[in-house]
Chain A
Amino acid sequence: MAELSRRGDDRPYPPGSYPVVVVGSGPGGLQLSYALTRLGVRHAVISADDAPGGMFRRWPLFQRLLSWTKPYASVEPGSRVHERYDWNSLIADEPPNRAIMAEFMDGTSSFPSRPEMERNLAAFAERTGTLVRYGCSWTATRRKAGKSGETFVLETSDGDYECEAAVFAIGVAEPRMATTPGIERAVHYADTREAKSYAGKRVLIIGKANSAFEVASGLLPWARGIALVSPSTAKLSVNTRSLVGVRARYVQPYEDHVLGGGVAIVDAAIARLEPAGDGATRVALRRTDGGSDLDIVVDDVIAATGFVAPTLDLPKLGVAVVGRSEVPAQTPYWESATVPGIYFAGTISQGAAGLQKHGLPANSGAVHGARYNARVLARYLARTRFDATEPQPRIAPGELVDRLLDQASTSPELWHQRSYLAWVATRAEDGGWLDGGIEPLAAILDAPGPDAVVLAIESDAAGRIYPVVYLRTARGTTERPIEPDPLLEFAGPDQRRQVADAVAAVRR
């Protein structure tokens, strides 16, 4: 902090009044600030950290991400369609600032290391001139009645910030501990020691999500035995065909389990932890699969029980939170479902669940989903709060089918945010079509308005990926799935015929 106070005077965004205040300097805060700047929306960005990167300044524990960047994909790096293969770069309009993740990767893996990701985010902030007031901690929030309606005051370590709209891009990275009796005998994932310190130890890991399997993978060469325990069965991403479940990189402990190699995976609730002598811990388990109760004695217990959103006093302000991660419940446009004027960006934007068709959630919890949410949110804030409505370009007569096929084939937004973000064409008063851009699917399906043709990319439980054309008319909403293509190319003659038939239906 000494260094910060020396350079304190030249930090941007001093306390005061701003139309929008963004809290956070991880990918979500940086992406939103970039998009707001491009739209001319004045705002401040504050962060308790002293450099950009958010959670990637610290995690993942074993220092390699779960999100890929493929510099040699079959499409032009920096093109829109290339964003399908680059999950880690933030998105910029200017070509030199696009697809910058690959510059920092050393080629040992298509998954960047944590320091590589941190450098990528810092480079985006620097090159795009995205400014943040670092070392400025948000400490409390209150409402204030103003002349033009209610505003929010964010109290910070540097003073008060008043704003019409506050956007919290604060991540979901505060360790969550269960309330099990004796849980103090466990350490959280975040406090896991260096792997080799577990040499010859018996380790019980509470949890079966990615962080649990990440720790188990890291300890496989060291631990004498590993047990992973939680009430529900382990899900694998290759089975759910989504990011739900344990990712392929961490499946090794699962294979060791099924091959009988020193890893036990148990479906049980943990009743209590108690001393078992010599520093060991007895963990009492109540099986949830109908089996008998069980005691396991181990040397170490690691609670990979996830993280919560650090919402501070927002729940007291009326912000409803949901689920084990205590993420704020949100409208389709990422506004608090209970306190208008409070918005969310970054991984916390997963609180706007969307349709989750066939049980598949959007990728809002990851950079490659949240970066598009932030761009849509910036446009929404600009047009609803600052009267900065972008004109909707007219689609030339006869080109609607071509535009739909082009979006199906190239749009990274639709690809990464399946059944969640959609491309919208709305009917103009003269009967022509207007390009409504990318919007949340749930908002468009439920909004009143002119006739619209809406395109999303979706997947089903069998893992098929296909476009869906929705027709929104005064008669209601109908959906028309387009046949899947084994090469995921959606611009062939069959797709053209099906899309044309769908569009013809809305004309009738």
Chain B
Amino acid sequence: MASPEEIVDALAGMALFADLSRPELEGVAHAFEEQFFPSGERVIRQGVSGSAFHVILEGDAEVVVDGERRATLGRGDFFGEVSVLLGEVPVADVVATRPLRTLVLPGPSIQEWLVAHPKVTFRMLQAQARRLRSANQWRS
């Protein structure tokens, strides 16, 4: 991994970007930075501000709150948007559990980017609705 073409191919297979044309996907691949985290490294830190929005290209991560594992994330999943959208510090750690490659969009860029890509915003809303439904089912 990962040539720009390979990244575009990977994005094309993800639900979040399913409605974008090939040139739009190339724009996404260009606007996002790729990052790599070895297993065990923290990607987002609970209580530490200024984090970013990540989409997983490869590898796995877990969501940890106060040392307790709450969820696992894999290829095509995204994280970091809640603290960015709310302008609050993250309430969880996200830790790589296998070598992790993500595409990253810095927090300050997210609003403009989501407004410019409403089809992605809709898909993100769908994913959030599913997470909310799962959380409600878990509670009931």
Listed in ascending order, the chain A residues whose CB lies under 8 Å from chain B are 178-179, 230-232, 267-269, 286-290, 320, 322-324, 329, 331, 337-338, 353, 355-360, 419, 445-446, 458, 460-461, 470, 476-479, 481
Contacts and interface: CB of A to CB of B under 8 A. Distances in A.
Contacts of A360: 106
B23 A288 contact: yes
B108 A288 contact: no
Interface of B: 3-5, 22-24, 26-27, 29-31, 33-38, 41-42, 45-52, 66, 89, 99, 101, 104, 106-109
A476 B49 CA distance: 14
A269 B23 contact: yes
B29 A479 contact: no
B72 to A, nearest CB: 20
B106 A479 contact: no
Contacts, number: 101
Given A179-B3, A289-B27, A323-B35, 10 more contacts: A231-B26, A231-B30, A232-B31, A286-B26, A287-B23, A288-B26, A337-B36, A358-B107, A460-B50, A476-B66
A322 B35 CA distance: 6
A477 B48 contact: yes
B23 A268 contact: yes
B23 A322 contact: no
A331 B29 CA distance: 24
Given A230-B30, A323-B34, A353-B35, A179 B108 contact: no
Contacts of A353: 35
Q: Say what secondary structure dominates the interface of chain B.
A: mixed
Given A337-B38, A479-B48, A322 B27 contact: no
A359 B45 CA distance: 15
Given A477-B47, A479-B48, A329 B38 contact: yes
A267 B46 CA distance: 37
Contacts of A356: 50, 52, 104, 106
Given A356-B52, A479-B48, A231 B35 contact: no
Given A322-B36, A338-B99, A359-B108, A232 B30 contact: yes
B50 A476 contact: no
A320 B36 contact: yes
Contact of A357 (B27, B46, B47, B49): B49
B98 to A, nearest CB: 12
B38 A331 contact: yes
B23 A479 contact: no
Nearest to B5: A179
A479 B38 contact: no
Contacts of B109: 359
23 contacts: A179-B5, A231-B29, A231-B30, A232-B30, A286-B22, A288-B23, A288-B27, A322-B36, A322-B101, A324-B4, A337-B36, A337-B37, A353-B35, A357-B49, A359-B52, A419-B50, A446-B45, A461-B108, A476-B46, A477-B46, A479-B47, A479-B48, A479-B49
